[in-house]
Chain A
Amino acid sequence: MSAGESSGDIHGANLMRCLLEKDPKITFYGLGRENMLQAGLHGLHDMTHKSLMWLHALTEISTFLEMKKDCIHFLRQERPSAVILIDYCGFNFYIARAAKKLGIPVIYYISPQLWAHGPWRVKKIKKLVDRLLVIYPFEKPFYEKAGIPVTYVGHPLFDEIHKEGVDEGFVTELKKQLGETIVSFLPGSRRQEIVRLLPLFLQSAAQIHHTIPSAQFLISCSNDQHFDLICEITKEFNAPYKVVVGNVHEVIKASTLCIAGSGTITLQIAYYLKPMIIAYKISPIAYFIAKPFLITPFIGLVNKLASKMIVPERLMCRANSAWLVNQAIPLLNNPQKRQACIHELSLLMNEIAKPGASEHAADEILTLLGSKPS
């Protein structure tokens, strides 16, 4: 198994548990983080701190080459029954290629988002992957059109949400401390995302607070490794905020409005039917290079899933806090606009927010391996 991102690690661990429930003889080797290691993965490398994007990946190229070498050596020596790749396509393509050369079946769980950018990679997927297990309904026809064997299994995030639940006491505590108008900022789990997005969000916080003095702000810190970074960034800005480490579900549930980067976090916000604004900022050079390849009209998952703009979103290469403020004020002040947004989110969630993705994925994998799911 190979998962590089923290979300991939969580979904990988859930998949491993489902597979083990159905077939306890399975042994897992590969790349993962603490969740997968806890679930029983024999780690070839610890993937903590390895979620890098774009040119930042070049700074760690020697580590990636070493990981690739070790993985290929393992595949040659052990000849596993299958390779299960989870997202993280930049690195996982290399593993897929090596496995394919050795005749090992390759299953890709949570496919790379080729429908959004880099659609040319579809031919590579076709060449490298024996079965794709996709998590969004619109991905199935996209890959089927390219002739790739694909199964829609649902989004594993909803398994997580159903399993974890919400600490209502913590939500009440947050509301008691901060009042009724809470705007939360969820910049993401990667260091680069926090550095790019949080200053933009905090600029808008000062302006929102100026217009709505009762507004208080929550900053979601996905793990404590980024706490110091967030404190360093917030020093430069003047707004009443509180940083919460972990407890993402509680932060979202306590919020009146969420401002987030694009990604799975937007689905979590949608699940709790909270109005949101999606803003994503990349460097001007990255924007220039990526722009021709952004084939989807929406950067936000909820808009893409709904096939229309149900929440405001913008991809930026310069910090445009004025746009953010212009979108936020009506969603805080105008009950009709809030209600319309919540209504659209509830329609979408009725359609997709169903648990059981890991279970379905495990069944598919066992079927593919010729082992009957119990």
Chain B
Amino acid sequence: MSIMLGFFYVLLLIAFASLIASAISYFFAKIKLFSFTLILFYTSNTFLSFFLIHNNHAVFFYTIVIFLIVFPIICLLLFALDVHYGLFCIDTSFVLVLVWLLTPVLFIVTLVSYILKVIHA
């Protein structure tokens, strides 16, 4: 159990650090670093959520994955495609607002799940 908790602890640290790093790199327009840290954030959070939630609450797990991971990633991909190819020709600024509203929510959900896991352990 202690190895498992240690593993969660590392994942949680990566999630937290990558969230902060992605915010800073975004703010200073370091696009490559931003992309890397955001991928790291989504990956660590997905694993963390899977190990913490999936076994007991599969429906909840898939709901948060769809709403807080798949949806913002699709938004970002569409935004990137629109930037490069002018595919949709709509004002896509709101995509960034959506992504930045949902990203901290994902972290909070995993953090709460982790705390509950620690308490029950």
Contact of B100 among A58, A94, A289, A293 (CB under 8 A): A289
Q: Are B26 and A128 in contact (CB under 8 A)?
A: no
Q: Establish whether residues A96 and B27, one from each chain, have CB atoms under 8 Å apart when the complex forms.
A: no
Q: Measured between C-beta atoms, what is the minimum distance from A292 to chain B in Å?
A: 4
Q: How far is the CA of A124 from the CA of B89 in the complex (A)?
A: 5
Given contacts A93-B89, A94-B90, contact A123 B84 (CB under 8 A): yes
A93 to B84, CA, bound (A): 17
Residue of A121, A128, A285, A293 most packed against chain B (CB within 10 A): A121
- Report yes or no: B28 in contact with A123, Cβ–Cβ below 8 A: no
Contact call A55/B97, Cβ cutoff below 8 A: yes
If over half of A's interface residues share one DSSP class (helix, strand or loop), that class is named, otherwise mixed; here it is helix
B90 touches A120 (CB 8 A): no
A304 at the A/B interface (Cβ < 8 Å)?
no
Taking CB as reference atom, which chain B residue is nearest A295?
Answer: B29
Closest A residue to B31 using CB positions: A292
Identify which of residues 71-89 in chain A touch chain B, using a CB-to-CB cut-off of 8 Å: 89
Complex alpha-carbon distance, A292 and B79, angstroms: 15
Closest residue on chain A to residue B100 by CB atoms: A289
Q: Is A123 touching B85 in the complex (CB atoms < 8 A)?
A: yes
Which residues on the B side are within 8 Å of A289 (C-beta)?
Answer: 93, 96-97, 100
Q: Within the complex, what minimum Cβ distance (angstroms) separates B7 from chain A?
A: 32
**A97 in contact with B27 given A55-B97, A288-B100, A289-B100 (CB within 8 Å):** no
Q: Is A179 engaged at the interface, CB distance under 8 Å to the other chain?
A: no
- On whether the beta carbons of B91 and A90 are closer than 8 Å, the reply is yes
Check if B6 is an interface residue, CB within 8 A of chain A: no
Which one of A93, A94, A127, A288 contacts B27 once the chains associate, using CB atoms below 8 Å?
Answer: A288
Query: Could you say which residues of chain A place their CB within 8 Å of the CB of B23?
Result: 288
The yes or no answer to A126 lying at the interface (CB within 8 A) is yes
Residue A118 interfacial (CB < 8 Å): yes
Name the one of B29, B86, B91, B96 contacting A126, with C-beta atoms under 8 angstroms: B86
Q: A55-B97, A123-B83, A123-B84 are in contact. Are A292 and B90 (CB under 8 A)?
A: no
Q: A90 vs B94: C-alpha distance in the bound complex, in angstroms?
A: 11
Q: Which residues of A contact B96 (CB under 8 A)?
A: 289
Cα-based distance from A121 to B88 in the complex (angstroms): 11
- Residue A291 at the B interface, CB < 8 A? yes
Query: Which residue of the partner chain, among A93, A126, A291, A293, contacts B90 with CB atoms under 8 Å?
Result: A93
Count contacts on B: residues with CB < 8 A to the other chain. 18
Q: Which residues does chain A contribute within 8 Å of B82, judged by CB atoms?
A: 120, 124
Number of interface residues of A (CB under 8 A): 22
B94: which A residues are within 8 A, CB to CB? 58
Nearest B residue (CB) for A101: B89
Contact present for B26 and A292 (CB under 8 Å): yes
Q: Which residues of A contact B27 (CB under 8 A)?
A: 288, 291-292
A288 to B100, CA, bound (A): 10
Bound-state Cα–Cα, A89 to B89, Å: 11
A96 with B29, Cβ < 8 A, contacts A120-B83, A288-B100, A289-B96 known: no
Residue among B26, B27, B90, B93 facing the most chain A CB atoms (10 A cut-off): B93
If A291-B27, A292-B27, A292-B28 touch, whether A127 touches B93 (CB-CB below 8 Å) is no
Pick the most buried of A96, A97, A120, A127: most chain B CB atoms within 10 A of its CB: A120
Contact of B86 among A55, A90, A127 (CB under 8 A): A127
With a CB–CB cut-off of 8 A, which chain B residues contact A120?
82-83
Provide the bound-state CA to CA distance between A291 and B89, in Å. Answer: 22
Residues of A within 8 A of B93 (CB): 118, 289
Is the pair A292, B29 in contact by a Cβ cutoff of 8 Å?
yes
Establish whether residues A127 and B89, one from each chain, have CB atoms under 8 Å apart when the complex forms. yes
Q: How would residues 119 to 138 of chain A score, 1 for a CB under 8 Å from any chain B CB and 0 otherwise?
A: 01101101110000000000
| Residues of the A chain whose Cβ atoms lie less than 8 Å from the Cβ of B84 | 123
Q: A123-B83, A292-B27, A292-B29 are in contact. Are A96 and B100 (CB under 8 A)?
A: no
A97 and B90 form a contact (CB under 8 A): yes
8 contacts between A and B (CB under 8 A): A58-B94, A90-B91, A118-B93, A120-B83, A123-B85, A285-B97, A288-B27, A292-B29
Residues of A within 8 A of B (CB): 55, 58, 89-90, 93-94, 96-97, 118, 120-121, 123-124, 126-128, 285, 288-289, 291-293
- 15 further contact pairs, Cβ within 8 A, besides A89-B91, A123-B84: A55-B97, A90-B91, A93-B89, A93-B90, A93-B91, A96-B89, A97-B89, A120-B83, A124-B90, A285-B100, A289-B93, A289-B97, A291-B27, A291-B29, A292-B27
